[in-house]
Amino acid sequence: MTTATVSRTSATSTDRPKRPFNWGSFRTYISAAIILIWCLAPFYWMVVTAFRDVGFTFDTTPFFTHVTWDNFATVFDESLGNHFGKNLLNSLIVGVVTTVVALVVGVFAAYALARLNFRFKFVVLGFILGASMFPGVALVTPLFQLFTNIGWFGTYQALIIPNISFVLPLTVYTLTSFFREMPWELEEAARIDGCTQGQAFRKVILPLAAPATFTTAILAFIASWNEFLIASQLSNDSTKTVTVAIAYFAGSQPHQEPYTAVMAAGTVVTIPLVILVLIFQRKIVAGLTAGAVK
């Protein structure tokens, strides 16, 4: 009843000095709370379960109860046939090598795409964008046979090479949009001062581009760290990555899903990423949306 009168009066006289209650911002806060809960509740539930005693797996208490570190011990326990420490290391190796290769190679391509005019630029950009949308499953079949034939099955390069197929386009694309927004007048200034284009690139632009490159590196690493399809098909026990390990995590009972241990493993894999993402939030959002809208 009161709301109806409030909205009618505010509609007739918009320049009232004081409003009794701002329904618009109230609704914004309610919506914001819903978004917050929707995004964080499942993640929170994973962490709560990770710290919960196995006997209380399906307890519905919404806060930390029956807290224990046992699940994390189970995750790293090798007696059940899991090698989670090794899997973490594998993911790290594949992720770091993929990221470094993609950055070292991609930074030059991004510079060319952002700064230089040349023929078929449109075609090159289209090819790189198309490559980033390429279905991984179309690579798995031929690579499965190829790597089996040349004895690469279960090597790191068997995972790194297909990962480059989607991390490199992502790197080039993100860096290109970052590079467009850099103060390139400085490059001009350096050239006037007698630098060649190559020197200007090395001495002025590269240090300037470091933050953008770092953000792109985070995005590239996350993309590689999260990869599942290729790793599940082209790795063996010695190169298995964490995502594959979590998907096929072995419990102590053969027909019982080790939920709490899996949630603990998920927490171990996710927490570093979440911390990284929260610290570099602004940059990552800029990197994610770069290029898609301009």
Partner 1 sequence: MSTELQKPKTTAGGGQKLPGRESADRKEATQGRWAYTLLAPSLVLLAIVIIYPVINAIVMSFQKDSGLDATTGFFSEGGPAGFDNYIHWLVQQCTAPGGGSVACPPGTLGAQFWDSMGTTFFFTLVTVAFETVLGFWMAIIMARAFRGRSLIRAAVLVPWAIPTAVTAKLWFFIFAFEGIANKLFGTQILWTGSEWPAKWAIIIADVWKTTPFMALLILAGLQLIPDEVYEAARVDGASTWQRFRLITLPLVRPALMVAILFRVLDALRMYDLPAIMTQGANGTTTLSILVVQQIRQGFNTAAALSTITFLVIFLVAFIFVRFLGANAVDAATSSGKAK
Query: Within 119-138, which residues bind partner 1 (CB under 8 A)?
Result: 119, 121-122, 124-131, 133-138
Which residue's CB is nearer to partner 1, number 6 or number 229?
229
Among 94, 109, 159, 220, binds partner 1 (CB under 8 A): 109
| 199 is a site residue for partner 1 (CB under 8 A) | no
CB of residue 27 to partner 1, shortest distance in Å: 9
| 100 is a site residue for partner 1 (CB under 8 A) | no
| 13 is a site residue for partner 1 (CB under 8 A) | no
Give helix then strand counts, H and E, for the chain.
14, 0
Beta-carbon neighbour count of residue 174 at 10 Å?
26
| 228 is a site residue for partner 1 (CB under 8 A) | yes
Among 31, 157, 236, 252, binds partner 1 (CB under 8 A): 31
Question: Quick one: which segment of 1-9, 26-34, 81-89, 187-195 binds partner 1 (CB under 8 A)?
Answer: 26-34
What is the separation of C-alpha 247 from the centre of its chain, rounded to a whole number of angstroms? Answer: 18
d(CA 267, CA 51): 10
Beta-carbon neighbour count of residue 141 at 10 Å?
10
| 151 is a site residue for partner 1 (CB under 8 A) | no
Question: Quick one: which segment of 65-73, 78-86, 186-194, 285-293 binds partner 1 (CB under 8 A)?
Answer: 285-293
CB-based contact 224:94 (threshold 8 Å): yes
Among 8, 29, 63, 185, binds partner 1 (CB under 8 A): 29
Give me the 57-86 binding string for partner 1, x by CB under 8 A, dash otherwise. Answer: xx-x--------------------------
d(CA 143, CA 135): 13
Among 23, 45, 64, 214, binds partner 1 (CB under 8 A): 45
Beta-carbon neighbour count of residue 75 at 10 Å?
27
Which residue's CB is nearer to partner 1, number 10 or number 243?
243
Which amino acid appears at position 124 of this protein?
A: V
3-class SS letters over 177-200: HHHHCCCCHHHHHHHHCCCCHHHH
CB-based contact 288:219 (threshold 8 Å): yes
| 114 is a site residue for partner 1 (CB under 8 A) | yes
How far apart, in Å, are the Cα atoms of 29 and each of 16, 21, 37?
Answer: 23, 13, 12
Of 157-196, binders to partner 1 (CB under 8 A) are: 161-162, 164-165, 168-169, 172-173, 176-177, 180
d(CA 189, CA 204): 10
CB of residue 77 to partner 1, shortest distance in Å: 18
d(CA 272, CA 112): 34
Among 242, 251, 264, 283, binds partner 1 (CB under 8 A): 242
Which residue's CB is nearer to partner 1, number 100 or number 288?
288
